[in-house]
Amino acid sequence: MSDDWRGETVDRIRTLITQAAPEVVEETRWRKPSNPDGVPTFSLGGLICTLETYRDKVKVTFAKGASIDDPHHVFNASLDAGTRRAVDLRATDALDEDAFVELVRGAVALNLA
């Protein structure tokens, strides 16, 4: 992961995910030459989300995001996808942390239902 604002954002997202679901399992998947660090994934009763860094953003993709209530409109990417939804965060973006925690808890509840 990056040593700039993206790394700090990833660390904060990771903290929020574990705050929302202390039993979550973090794994790294999909290592390849173009991405030797791989992609952090978070699971509990199934995949909750993935966490990726790009040059201009950090992307948190919820595997079943289309089925999770988002009354605070945290999802801002992949809104037309049939199953998943994502949160794209750029350097100057503010995240509603309480609403994000609710999304994670909603994803866990969906997985465990």
Tens-place pLDDT, residues 19-74: 999 999 999 998 888 778 889 999 999 999 999 999 999 999 999 999 999 999 99
Residue 30 has what pLDDT? 86
Tokens 């199953």 found at = 83
Query: Average pLDDT of the chain?
Result: 93
Please give the model's pTM, rounded to 2 decimal places.
0.93
**For the CA atoms of 66, 69, 71, 73, what is the dihedral angle to 10 degrees?**
-30
Cα separation, 113 vs 20, whole angstroms:
17
User: Domains of the chain by range and CATH?
Assistant: 5-112 (3.90.1150)
